[in-house]
Amino acid sequence: MYDIAIIGSGPGGYVAAIRCAQLGMKTAIIEYYPALGGTCLNVGCIPSKALLDSSEHFYNATHTFAEHGIKIKTIEADIAQMVKRKNGVVSQTVDGIKFLMKKNKIDVFTGYGSFVSTTKIKITNSEGEKIIEAKNTIIATGSKPATLPGITIDKERIITSTEALNLTEIPKNMVVIGGGVIGLELGSVYARLGAKVQVIEFLDGIIPTMDKGLGKELEKSLKKIGFEFYYKHKVTGVVSKGKTVTVTAENDKGEKVEFKGDYCLVSIGRKAYTQNLGLENAGVKLDERGRVAVNEKLQTNITNIYAVGDVVRGAMLAHKAEEEGVFVAETIAGQHPHIEYLHIPNVVYTWPEVAAVGYTEEELKIAGTKYKTGIFPFKASGRARASMDTDGFVKVLADATTDEILGVHMIGPRCADIIAEAVLAMEYKATAEDVARICHPHPTYTEALKEACLAAYNNAAIHI
């Protein structure tokens, strides 16, 4: 009898397993695939960042090195080597998770986990079936790429993010359906390598869940590297013939339009993975969107079964899943942890990077909250000018009366890292003045956050 069994070994699952083991629980983790780590480590966060870094090096070599005084006569993109390096990064990371399971004495079962009852889980693999029993269970099965009705993913020319990470050639023209994070990141990889990228989006802008200004600024930057954007277009079909993919759509005037490319990346988001888990055998309920329904303790309607990560409500983010994994482990142990979901940052790993935490201006306006705004552009940053990364800005939203920081939205160099300072500030209810009066090292990108806070506090940024 295990104290805890976890179905799924992605960031939510493996982090929960480690924390449970640290708290003295006898822990088992069940993973269908031979490699641990889930989508994030194998076909998501880690491999995409590896390719993004490789393609960014290539782009800089062909576009900015000469300005820096670095002359290279022949430059060639070797996609096979990029993919090989990416696979190596994935392998090292996955091996690290395997080591952590062993270090923490966590039993790892490979196979398909499904409930037999509220305490018994059947594990099915090529060798047969095995049943284990656990006092508590955490469902951490993550998500799968979503698709549109009538579109068949052939995994060759009509692909998802999984296949886009392993192309053997650089596309000449990639059509991307969806202007969200995944499509823009993977589109960036191939645009930097020379591909034309056409983004078809149903709504009126990219990264639609983030601050409107961020999407507009990112659009300007991506157009510079070969992106084209088509908004308010409803995709009606995708057909692959030979080496050509044809995407049909209707624009906002109801007119039929076509887009042709050699690859079509379908990236309209992801959906919770709950299939074949035998949830009905345990009596676990789903919500109206097919996700596992949980309460504020991430507990299902069955008191000894919990769920975390993409399979439950909220943003589908690896770091959100990790926080939930720790939260559930400590809750089961009788502790009283907390998660402030408003303070979970969102990041887009394009270049410039996009990052945000807290409320957007649109949300504050709807709520009727009175707020102040401070904006500082990276073109006024000495560090950004030194590195030729002057696109973007930092925007700070603060309460008009108390000066407490309500939201921070940024696009620019290393914003994926800078946002952590904003998260820390908001977690401790810092004011714009608090951050503005903290000494930031010079010259750094983080000074842009200080300056934006100065602008929000008393409209007195120093360097603009």
- Catalytic residue list contains 68: no
Give the DSSP per-residue string, 82-124.
HHHHHHHHHHHHHHHHHHHHHHTT-EEEESEEEESSSSEEEEE
Residues β-bridged to residue 196: 173
Non-local (6+) Cβ contacts of 187 within 8 A are 174, 176, 197, 199, 222, 227, 265
Non-local (6+) Cβ contacts of 435 within 8 A are 396, 405, 421, 425, 449, 450, 453
The helix-helix angle for 11-22 and 318-332 (nearest 10°) equals: 30
Give the DSSP per-residue string, 20-39.
HHHTT--EEEEESSSSSSHH
For residue 404, report the phi and psi dihedrals to the nearest 5 degrees.
-65, 140
Residue 15 identity: V
For residue 405, report the phi and psi dihedrals to the nearest 5 degrees.
-70, 125
CA pseudo-torsion sign 420, 422, 425, 428? negative
> What's the 3-state SS for 396-456?
EEEECCCCEEEEEEEEECCHHHHHHHHHHHHHCCCEHHHHHCCCCCCCCCCHHHHHHHHHH
The HSE-up count of residue 225 (CA atoms within 13 Å, CB side) is 26
Q: Are strands 120-125 and 128-139 parallel, antiparallel or unpaired?
A: antiparallel
Helix ranges restricted to H, 312-428: 318-332, 361-367, 382-387, 415-427
Residue 69's CB: how many other CB atoms inside 10 A? 6
Q: What's the rounded Cα separation, in Å, for the pair 123 and 315?
A: 29
The HSE-up count of residue 391 (CA atoms within 13 Å, CB side) is 19
Query: Which residue among the candidates 57, 63, 68, 442 is catalytic per the annotation?
Result: 442
Which structure tokens are listed for 84?
């090989």
Catalytic residues: 442
